[in-house]
Amino acid sequence: MHLLIIGAGRTGKHVIQSSVEDKHDVYVIEKDPQVAAWVSTHFDCVVINADATNLESLKEAKAEKADAIIVTTNDDAVNMLVILLGQQLGIKRLVSSVNNEDHFPIFEKLGIDTVESPYRLNGRFLYRAIQGPSVKEFLDLGDGVEIVELIVSPKSVVNNKLIKELNKTRALPKDTRIIVIKRDDQIIIPEGETQILAGDVVAALALKQSVPALAVLFN
């Protein structure tokens, strides 16, 4: 994917690292020249030392071709403006951190798919958000293994399917296991006859590289 990351501070660096490790085409816009220089020498990505609220800076980063933009600055006004510019340029996935939780309703009205606070979530989660709206939470267990929580969309290919059907057709990525299903206030330990329904929150154990393919199944 062509990813555009705005800001290379503490949160942004985690997003950059995760994106580069997964071999994405990464463009970073960072206003601070010293921070921009540090990133360019530590990560295999294109770094543009510029103000991301300038439309020309976004165009220099080939924003029109971007699959997603992740905004991580510590200024909510800047984040909002960049997201609006991203919408104007037609970027499909819009992800932004929010520094003041009072601003959450404003960001939600912008139609952003995922908005989380960097005080509650790290950059790795913001990166995971670009995989799709189905990704709700994740826990990195180390050694390339994660537990991912995904919301079942009504249009998802797993909706209304039995666990045994998914296993038989090998619908889930290799080395992926559904371990828990949350349905309203109920916790379900899945068995072969357990049916997955729209709105369920499914916790799956998966290899890191399998998460993007897994998320697609739940969108």
102-117 pLDDT per residue, tens = 777 777 777 776 555 5
Residues 210 and 182 in one domain: yes
171-189 burial by CB neighbour count: b if 16+ within 10 A, else e? Answer: ebbeebebeebbeeeeeee
So what's the pLDDT on residue 139?
64
Q: Can you tell me the distance from the alpha carbon of 145 to that of 197, in angstroms, rounded to the nearest whole number?
A: 25
Reported in sequence order, the residue ranges of the chain that DSSP labels E, i.e. its strands, are: 2-6, 25-30, 46-49, 68-71, 93-97, 114-116, 135-142, 145-151, 177-183, 186-188, 201-207
* pTM, rounded to two decimals: 0.62
Average pLDDT over residues 39-55: 95
Query: CATH number of the domain that 146 lies in?
Result: 3.30.70.1450
The verdict on 171 and 213 lying in the same domain is yes
Q: Tell me, what CATH number does 71's domain have?
A: 3.40.50.720
Number of domains, the chain: 2
Average pLDDT over residues 132-147: 66
DSSP 56: H
- Asked whether residue 55 falls in the same domain as residue 157, the answer is no
User: Are 143 and 86 in the same domain?
Assistant: no
- Burial label for 109, CB within 10 Å (0-12, 13-18, 19+), is exposed
Same-domain status, 102 and 153 = no
Assess whether 175 and 142 both reside in one domain: yes
Does the pLDDT of residue 152 top 70, yes or no?
yes
139 and 121 inside one domain = no
Residue 20, phi then psi, degrees to nearest 5 = -70, -40
Residues 125 and 121: their CA atoms lie apart, in Å, by: 6
pLDDT at residue 35 in the model: 96
Could you list the residue range(s) of the whole structural domain that residue 7 is in? Answer: 2-131
Task: Say yes or no: 18 and 117 in one domain.
Answer: yes
pLDDT value of position 175: 82
Listed in sequence order, the residues at least 6 apart from 41 whose beta carbon sits closer than 8 Å to its beta carbon are none
67 and 171 belong to one structural domain: no
Q: Which two tokens stand for residue 215?
A: 């998320």
Q: Which residues contact 68 (CB under 8 A, 6 or more apart)?
A: 1, 3, 4, 91, 92, 93, 94, 95, 130
Tens-place pLDDT, residues 57-93: 999 999 999 999 999 998 888 988 999 899 889 998 8
Strand partners, 195: 162
The answer on 173 and 104 residing in a single domain is no
What's the chain's average pLDDT? 85
Residue 96 has pLDDT above 90, yes or no: no
d(CA 215, CA 139): 15
Residue 197 shares a structural domain with residue 150: yes
Do 141 and 115 lie in one domain? The reply is no
